[in-house]
Amino acid sequence: MNALRESYGQEIDQILAKYPDDEKRSAVMPLLFVAMRKDGYVNKQDLEDIGEIIGRSSTDVASILGFYTLFHDKPEGKYRIQVCNDLPCALRGADEYLDNLCDNLGIRPGETTEDGVVTLEAVMCLAACDKAPMFQVQDYNGVAYHENQTVESTMQLVESWRAEGGKDA
């Protein structure tokens, strides 16, 4: 039984309907996003399930999973703070902001806080160069922008997540 289809059957049908009948392979990326909704990453069973839905091998699905930066294959923080420190943002203080944020969170880019609430990442340009420092938050349900940030405003956000109960929220 296809577990993914069992959990998200109707939504999967809507996704498949976006593409021509003989081109269901196109659904692989939206289906990977669906698979990440449960706990923020794609597991081996998901690869099998997606492969079955679109008629491709799980290896094929895994290649797509590995190619794109917004797909994840292991559990990490509930919220991923993805700070842009690319050239335009860095010209407006993003590197200093990121350093300070690291100090405040007690982790470096690529690491997760002990309570499992935050994974911090340094990422490439997010098309918000005039509103640096900025980051996006990727959680299990999608991506949201946070612009014109200070370390204080970011830490307030982090504290609000912690107040929600961290991993069990």
Partner 1 sequence: MPEAYLCLRHREIENIDQMDVYRQNGGFSAWEKAISQMQPDEVTTEVFDSGLRGRGGAGFPTGLKWRFMDGNNWPHYVVVNADESEPGTFKDREIMESNPLQFLEGVMLTSYAVGANLSYIYLRGEFWELAHYLDERIAELEKEGLLGDKLFGSDYSLRIRTHLGAGAYICGEETALLESLEGKLGQPRVRPPFPPSFGLYGKPTVVNNVETLTNVPLIIEHGSSYYRKWGTEKSAGTKVFSLSGRVKKPGNYELPLGTTFRELIYEYGGGIIDDKEVKAIMPAGASSSMIVANDEALDTPMDYENVPNVGAQLGSASIIVIDETVSMDWLINKTVHFFKHESCGKCTPCREGTFWMSNVTERVHEGQANWEDVILLQDVATNIKGKCLCALGDFATEAVTTAIERFPEDFKAKAKSNGAASEELVETSAAVAD
Contacting residues toward partner 1, per CB under 8 A: 18-20, 23, 25-30, 32-33, 54, 56, 63-64, 67-71, 86-88, 90-92, 123-130, 136, 142-145
Nearer to partner 1 by Cβ, of 105 and 126: the residue is: 126
Q: Which is nearer to partner 1, 42 or 118 (CB)?
A: 42
- CA torsion sign for 157, 159, 162, 163 is negative
Strand order, beta sheet including 79-84: 118-123, 79-84, 135-139, 142-146
Residue 105 CB, nearest distance to partner 1 (Å)? Answer: 22
**What is the nearest approach in angstroms of partner 1 to the Cβ of residue 11?**
13
b/e per residue 139-150 (b: at least 16 CB within 10 A): beeeeeebeebe
Q: How far is the CB of 93 from partner 1 (least distance, A)?
A: 10
In the 8-state DSSP scheme, what is residue 101? H
